[in-house]
Amino acid sequence: MGKNSKNKKKMKGAEKTSLKTEKKMLLKQKRMLAKIGEADIEELLAKYKVDPTKKETAATEIECPAPSPRVNFTVVTHPTKDQLIFFGGNFYDGKKAEVYDDLFMYNIAKDSWTVLRGGDKPLPRSGHQMVATATDGGQLWMFGGEYSSPSQLQFHHYSDLWVFRIKERQWEKIPASGGPSARSGHRMVLLKKRLFVFGGFHDNNHSYKYFNDVHFFSLEDYKWTKIDVAGVAPPPPRSGCCMTTTTSGSILIWGGYSRAPMKKDADRGITHWDSYSLTPDKHDPKGLSWKWVSIKMGGVRPPPRSGVSYVVAPNGKLYTFGGVMDTEEDEESIIGQFSNELHSFDAENRVWRKVAIAQPGKSQATDEAMEEKVMTSAGAFTVTVAGKKTKSGEKFSGSATSEPGPRSHCGLAVCKGTLFLFGGSLEEGTKDITLGDFYSLDLQKPTEWKTIIEDKTQNNEILQ
C-alpha cells in the first residue's frame, strides 16, 4: 500500500485550487436551490421519462393552436409534403425558463397546426440539431441539445441521437457509441448519407468548453466516426456558426460565437467572422481523410453577429436572418444590438448578397444608403450596421410594419420557394422577450413579408 502511495501522481497547485473552487460553487448552488425550492436536475428530467412498460408504440397526431413563443428550437421542411415540422426549444422571460419536448406540424395550404401526443420521445431540449431525409416516407434525425432548470442554475447537455419515422409517427433512440460528447449549439448537415457534426459547447454553470471537433454518423451502417482533420489551422472552437455543403462534396462553415477567460471571474465573448472549408481527400475512397482550409467570401457580407439563423433552400442557396452584436456602452455595461437583415449566400461561388425587401410605402433607397463599416482585429470588431436595427431598451413592433422585427435565434425553413420565419428572442431593456410570431416571404419576388401570426409580445403579461 505504501509503495502504491509513492507512485501516485501529486496533484498540482492549480488543480487543487480548481477542485476547491468547483466544490465551493457546487455547495453554493446547492444552498441556492434549497432556498428557491428547486429539485435536482436529474429529478426534474425524470418526470419526462416514459415508463417502458406503459409506453405506446406510436404517437397520436391531434389538431392544436400554434406553438407557444420559443427560441433555440428546430424547424425543418417535410421531405415529401408541403409541411413544416417543429421540435423543442425553450422560453425565458428573465425570471423563469421552460424547455419543450413537443413536435408540431404546420400544414401550409390549410394554415393549420397538429401536435403529437404520447409514445416514447426525446427529453425536452433546446440548442439541438435536426435534419430531414426522404428515406422510408421521411425521417428526422436529431442530435444533442440541452435542458435548463426553471431557475437556469442547472444545465444538462445531451449526446443522444434520435430518428423520428414520419410515416409511423414514431421516435427511436439510436444506440450508437463513439459519437460527439454532450453538447448544444453545434451544427449538423447531411452529405452523402452521412450526418456531419461540428462544434458546439458544454456549460454546467461552473465551467464551460467550446468544441471544434468533427464527427460523422453513417446512415448506412449506423456508426459514428471521428475525423482527424488535417490542416495547420483548423477553425477555433465555437458554437452557433453557419454550416452548409457544396456540390463538390465539401462543407463550409463561418461565423459563430465562443467565450474565453479574460481575468479572474470574468470572460469575454468572441463573435467569429472567419470562414473555412472542410474538404475531402479525392484519393481516399473511404471518405475518411479531410482537411481544413481557410477561405475568403465575396459580396456584401453580413456584419459579425451571433445568434444568426440560417436555412439552406433546395436550390443550394443559403439564407440568414437577424442576429445580435454585443456593444460596449462603457467599461462595465454591454448592450445587445439586434438586426432583422436578410442575406443570401451562394455556396458554390462563395458570394453574399443582402436581400432588400421593398415594403409598401417605404423608400428602399433610404436603408441601402445607410453607412456600413466593418473593422476587424484579432477577436474584436467595431461595426456600424446597415439597415433596420434595435438596441436593448428600444421599442419595436413587428406587426406594425408587417415584417419580422429584429431578433436572434429564430427558426427558418424554405418550402417551394417560400421562406418561413418563426419565433426567436430579443432584449428590451432588462427584459428577455421570447417571440412567437410567424411570417412568410416569396423568395422569387421578395417584395413583402406576409404575417401569419402577429407579434403579441407587447401585451404579454409574463413580461410585466
**DSSP assignment of 261-293:** EEETTEEEEEE---EEEEEE-TT-TTS--EEEE
Classified as helix, coil or strand, 37 is coil
Classified as helix, coil or strand, 14 is helix
CA–CA separation, 63 vs 118, rounded Å? 14
| pLDDT at position 395 | 39
Bridge partner residues of 274 (DSSP):
none
Burial class (CB in 10 A: 0-12, 13-18, 19+), 428: buried
End-to-end CA distance of the chain: 64
Q: Which residue has the cell 454553470?
A: 205
| pLDDT at position 285 | 86
Closest to 138 (Cα-Cα) out of 93, 101, 168, 172: 168
pLDDT (tens place) for every residue of the chain, 464 residues total: 444 444 444 555 544 544 455 556 666 667 777 778 788 999 999 999 877 666 555 689 999 999 999 999 999 999 999 999 999 999 998 889 999 999 999 999 999 999 999 889 999 999 999 999 999 999 999 999 999 999 999 999 999 999 999 999 999 999 999 999 999 999 999 999 999 999 999 998 888 999 999 999 999 999 999 998 877 789 999 999 999 999 999 999 999 999 988 776 678 889 999 999 999 998 888 889 999 999 999 999 999 999 999 999 988 899 999 999 877 655 556 678 899 999 999 999 999 999 988 655 544 433 333 333 333 333 333 333 333 444 444 433 333 447 899 999 999 999 999 999 999 999 987 789 999 999 999 999 999 999 999 988 754 443 33
| pLDDT at position 290 | 95
Give the β-pairing of 155-157 and 146-148.
antiparallel
Q: Which domains does the chain have, with CATH numbers?
A: 42-175 (2.120.10.80)
Closest to 146 (Cα-Cα) out of 68, 224, 55, 239: 239
Q: Looking at 384-448, list the stretches that DSSP marks H as alpha helix, in order from N- to C-terminal side.
A: none
Sheet holding 103-107, edge to edge: 60-64, 112-117, 103-107, 83-87, 74-77
State pTM to two decimals: 0.84
Phi, psi (deg, nearest 5) at residue 258: -155, 170
| pLDDT at position 38 | 87
Helices (H) and strands (E) in the chain, counts: 4, 39
Burial class (CB in 10 A: 0-12, 13-18, 19+), 168: middle
Give the β-pairing of 351-354 and 187-191.
unpaired
Residues 277, 267 contacting (CB under 8 angstroms): no
| pLDDT at position 51 | 72
Closest to 380 (Cα-Cα) out of 292, 222, 258, 271: 271
Residues in the chain: 464
Other Cβ atoms less than 10 A from the Cβ of 69: the count is 24
CA-CA-CA-CA torsion sign (64, 68, 73, 79): positive
Residues 6+ apart with CB under 8 A from 308: 240, 242, 255, 302, 320, 321, 322, 323, 408
